[in-house]
């Protein structure tokens, strides 16, 4: 991958000096126009020339309006970052539409560094590469302009650069132990870097490998590339046809197989509820000590009893142990970013239970059925969601997903009951009644969702909920059993 760099032509001083004044004007103007654009820009600057990466970013700061170039140097992860899946720290800083962010090192240096230091074994490294590819693909598909620069130095040039920097009193403070290590462990680092860059060099998100030996050439190539990209905007994502719902050869639709006649007597419920709550409480205390962070996702029909089921969970826990995140329409900051951003940024620290009352599945449910997401967007979402959830479970979050299932007549009864109950009245709107007209469409969307996103580590649990009592007990039981399994590992 890095061999190609040798054949690239150097930019001579005259060309550079002739081009520069105009280039700077063009860059500033393109940056100004970006504010009105409907896409965000992420520029990842990485490479085996760490000093060069910093220089390149400094040049961009000088040539562009540095006030609108928030820059994130990803050095060692903070405690809050270490307690979340690896990509949390990158999601956290994603810019909104009309904004640009410079990420220095980013997931490239993070993964290569951890592999070289043996914090990732080969299998884990490969898995993280898959996550990196999925992350970049999803950003691009959702309209982010993503540019990736790899600043490459040959071994002898790196040696020379370190030597010169060490002898220059204005520069030697920049030479860190890591720079020295990079050179000294060249034979270990470069195969890992090559593997990373080659694997993540996709048609949609290619690396631009740039020779870092000559400052003028490097600066000009990066700046021209940024300029061109700002002007043309993100490339159209590859035409991915919307995949129609499969019609046969599938497992029986999940909803149809749910037994809605399931029920529990009041007496039985009053005995079982405290029993399972006590069990849950003890398990959560253990989970906290083991630093597991269970994530519970509640989806289901309106009036299926999500809120009631959640209350039976939280009543058993200490307030320091959990957080409930209700998901409604996205706010302004959320609307202007990738649809998963608001979920990623809310992930819990180690040892906390996070409960989503509705979730990222809105993408393939309400957004699909109501037409808020285009067919290619929601069909793509299954894969994006699988990747997101696998990062959660791989980083130690048991993930449980519940679909609370009722039939249309039960729903109608509950709507009508709510209208006469003063403290629940506010939950009913005209929309709720209107949505009933699309019941069958939603059934199709739910069945497909369950088929596409039930994985071994994050299965869906369809909970018959015509009888609220049995639904609540089922939910509690399911969580307890999953936690027991996770804790026994």
Query: Closest by alpha carbon to 144, among 231, 40, 216, 246?
Result: 40
Binding track, positions 403-422, relative to a second copy; x by CB under 8 A = -------------------x
Partnered with residue 149 across adjacent β-strands are: 45, 208
Cβ 150 to a second copy, closest distance in Å?
Answer: 17
Q: Which two tokens stand for residue 125?
A: 């490294």
Out of 10, 17, 32, 126, the only residue in the binding site for a second copy (CB under 8 A) is 32
Q: What is residue 134's three-state secondary structure?
A: helix
Cβ-proximal residues to 286 (8 Å cutoff; 6+ apart), any chain: 483, 487
Q: Does 310 bind a second copy (CB under 8 A)?
A: yes
Is there a contact between 301 and 471 (Cβ–Cβ < 8 Å)? no
Is there a contact between 149 and 211 (Cβ–Cβ < 8 Å)? no
| Binding to a second copy, residues 320-359 (CB under 8 A) | 320, 323-326, 331-333, 349, 357
Cβ 396 to a second copy, closest distance in Å?
Answer: 18
* 251 half-sphere exposure, CB direction, 13 A CA radius: 10
Helices marked H in 245-349: 266-289, 306-314, 332-335, 341-344
Partnered with residue 151 across adjacent β-strands are: 47, 210
| Cβ burial 94-116 (10 Å sphere, 16+ → b, else e) | bbbbbbbbbbbbbbbbbbbbbbb
Total of chain residues touching a second copy, rule CB under 8 A: 52
Q: Does 481 bind a second copy (CB under 8 A)?
A: no
Cβ 27 to a second copy, closest distance in Å?
Answer: 8
Out of 319, 409, 434, 488, the only residue in the binding site for a second copy (CB under 8 A) is 319
Out of 54, 225, 345, 478, the only residue in the binding site for a second copy (CB under 8 A) is 54
Cβ 80 to a second copy, closest distance in Å?
Answer: 5
Partnered with residue 460 across adjacent β-strands are: 401
69/458 with CB nearer a second copy: 69
Q: Does 36 bind a second copy (CB under 8 A)?
A: no
| Binding to a second copy, residues 243-302 (CB under 8 A) | 278, 281-282, 285
Out of 17, 163, 318, 484, the only residue in the binding site for a second copy (CB under 8 A) is 318
Q: Return the DSSP state at 11.
A: P
Out of 10, 58, 457, 485, the only residue in the binding site for a second copy (CB under 8 A) is 58
Q: What's the sign of the alpha-carbon dihedral 325, 326, 327, 332?
A: negative
- Region of 78-86, 249-257, 396-404, 433-441 interacting with a second copy (CB under 8 A): 78-86
- Region of 122-130, 132-140, 303-311, 398-406 interacting with a second copy (CB under 8 A): 303-311
Q: Most distant CA pair in the chain: distance in Å?
A: 89
Out of 311, 457, 481, 485, the only residue in the binding site for a second copy (CB under 8 A) is 311
**Separation of alpha carbons 137 and 132, rounded Å:** 8
List interacting residues with a second copy (CB under 8 A): 24-25, 28-29, 32, 54, 57-58, 61-62, 65-71, 73, 75, 78-80, 102, 104, 170, 173-174, 278, 281-282, 285, 307, 310-311, 314-315, 318-320, 323-326, 331-333, 349, 357, 422-424, 426
């Amino acid at each position: 991958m890095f061999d190609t760099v040798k054949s690239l032509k150097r930019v001579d001083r005259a060309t550079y000096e002739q081009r520069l004044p105009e280039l700077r004007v063009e860059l500033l103007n393109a940056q100004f126009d970006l504010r009105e654009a409907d896409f965000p820009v992420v520029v990842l600057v990485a490479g085996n020339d760490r000093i060069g990466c910093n220089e390149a970013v400094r040049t961009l700061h000088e040539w562009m309006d540095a006030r609108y170039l928030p820059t994130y140097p990803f050095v060692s992860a903070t405690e809050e970052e270490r307690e979340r899946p690896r990509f949390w720290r990158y999601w956290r800083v994603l810019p909104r539409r009309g904004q640009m962010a410079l990420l220095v090192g980013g997931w490239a240096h993070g993964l290569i560094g951890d592999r070289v230091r043996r914090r990732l074994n080969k299998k884990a490294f490969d898995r993280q590469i898959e996550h990196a590819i999925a992350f970049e693909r999803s950003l691009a598909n959702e309209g982010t302009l993503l540019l990736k620069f790899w600043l490459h130095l040959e071994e002898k040039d790196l040696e020379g650069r370190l030597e010169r920097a060490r002898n220059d009193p204005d520069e030697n403070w920049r030479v860190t132990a890591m720079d020295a290590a990079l050179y000294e462990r060249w034979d270990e680092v470069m195969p890992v870097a090559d593997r990373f860059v080659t694997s993540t060099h996709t048609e949609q998100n290619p690396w631009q490998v740039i020779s870092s030996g000559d400052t003028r050439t490097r600066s000009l190539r990066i700046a021209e590339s940024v300029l061109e990209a700002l002007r043309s905007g993100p490339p159209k994502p590859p035409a991915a046809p919307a995949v129609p719902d499969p019609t046969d050869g599938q497992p029986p639709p999940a909803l149809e197989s749910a037994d809605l006649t399931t029920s529990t007597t009041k007496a039985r419920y009053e005995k079982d509820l405290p029993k399972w709550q006590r069990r849950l409480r003890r398990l959560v205390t253990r989970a906290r000590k083991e630093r597991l962070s269970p994530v519970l996702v509640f989806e289901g029909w309106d009036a299926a009893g999500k809120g009631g089921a959640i209350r039976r969970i939280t009543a058993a826990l200490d307030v320091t142990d959990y957080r409930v995140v209700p998901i409604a329409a996205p706010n302004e900051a959320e609307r202007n970013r990738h649809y998963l951003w608001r979920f990623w940024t809310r992930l819990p620290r180690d040892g906390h239970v996070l409960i989503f009352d509705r979730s990222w599945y809105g993408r393939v449910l309400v957004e699909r059925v109501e037409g808020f997401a285009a067919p290619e967007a929601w069909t793509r979402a299954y894969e994006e969601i699988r990747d997101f959830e696998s990062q959660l479970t791989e980083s130690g979050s048991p993930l449980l997903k519940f679909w609370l299932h009722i039939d249309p007549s039960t729903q109608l009864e509950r709507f009508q009951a709510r209208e006469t109950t003063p403290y629940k009245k506010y939950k009913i709107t005209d929309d709720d009644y209107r949505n009933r007209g699309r019941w069958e469409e939603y059934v199709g969307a739910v069945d497909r969702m369950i088929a596409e996103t039930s994985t071994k580590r994050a299965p869906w649990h369809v909970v018959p909920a015509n009888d609220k009592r049995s639904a609540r007990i089922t939910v509690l039981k399911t969580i307890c059993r999953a936690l027991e399994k996770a804790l026994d590992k």
